[in-house]
Amino acid sequence: MAKKAKETVMLFCAHPDDEILGMGGTIAKYSKEGKEVIAVIFSYGEASHPWMKKRFTVKTRVKESRRAGKIVGTKKTIFLALKDGALATEIKRPRTTMMIKRLIKKYKPSKIFTHSFDDILYKDHKTVYNIMNKIMSEIDYKGDAYTFNIWNITNLRKRNLPKMIVDISTTFRTKMRALKEFKSQKVALVQLLPVVYLRGFKHGFEGNHKWGEKFYKIR
């Protein structure tokens, strides 16, 4: 009997740590269930430390992301190496679009996750949302596609979209442990932690769970 292929899930985000902030508990849950999660990160997040030489920032942030991915069970983390803070320009290059399409074709994900349209504090988040929406339409992606928030507690303009709440009661601590790997982002994460806890509790309550992560279905 032929061995059944494992289900693959892909997530596309702008910066290292977005993957854990947005859906770290879900990654850990899917990994425990035997699903393979592929994280595609558009930039190295090098703009977070403009006073450091780029190669040092890149090396640090890649190492942190891979360590965090190992904790939650990410199968593979792929960096597109686009310029942080300038994704709107970089994404217009045909080579970038083709690269993303090839990755989706290669891994054939049943689900794709990406940034929310309402996550507007960072323009790169909205840029990733826009390009992923465009690409999924162009390739006529047949799987399910969901968005996650980083800074917002909930979606503001798309609250009527279908919702999926994932029970991360057994993986919330794993998510928080993975976040600790991003030591270079300590200042920003300290500001975000209250939002992470509040959102996790709120979404868990909505789904009748202790902790939850909520996603909005866009396809």
Break the chain into its structural domains and give their ranges. 8-217
Considering the entire predicted model, what is its pTM? 0.92
The whole-number pLDDT of residue 163 equals 92
Give the closest residue to 129 by CA, choosing from 164, 101, 88, 172.
88
At 166, list the tokens: 């994932």
Tens of pLDDT, residue by residue over 129-143, are: 999 999 999 999 999
Give tens-digit pLDDT for 11-33. Answer: 999 999 999 999 999 999 999 99
In the predicted model, what is the mean pLDDT of the chain?
Answer: 90
At which residue do the structure tokens 């997040």 appear?
45
pLDDT for 154 beyond 60: no
More confident residue, 48 or 171: 171
**Is residue 120 a contact partner of residue 126, using CB atoms and an 8 Å limit?**
yes
Q: How confident is the model at residue 192 (pLDDT cuts 50, 70, 90)?
A: confident
Q: How far apart are the first and last CA of the chain?
A: 34
Question: For 1-13, what is each residue's pLDDT tens digit?
Answer: 556 678 999 999 9
Sequence-distant (≥ 6) Cβ neighbours of residue 51 within 8 angstroms: none
What amino acid occupies position 193?
L
Asked whether 48 and 185 are in contact (CB, 8 A), the reply is: yes
pLDDT (mean) for 108-122: 88
Distance CA 55, CA 133 (A): 31
Architecture category of domain 8-217 in CATH: 3-Layer(aba) Sandwich (3.40)
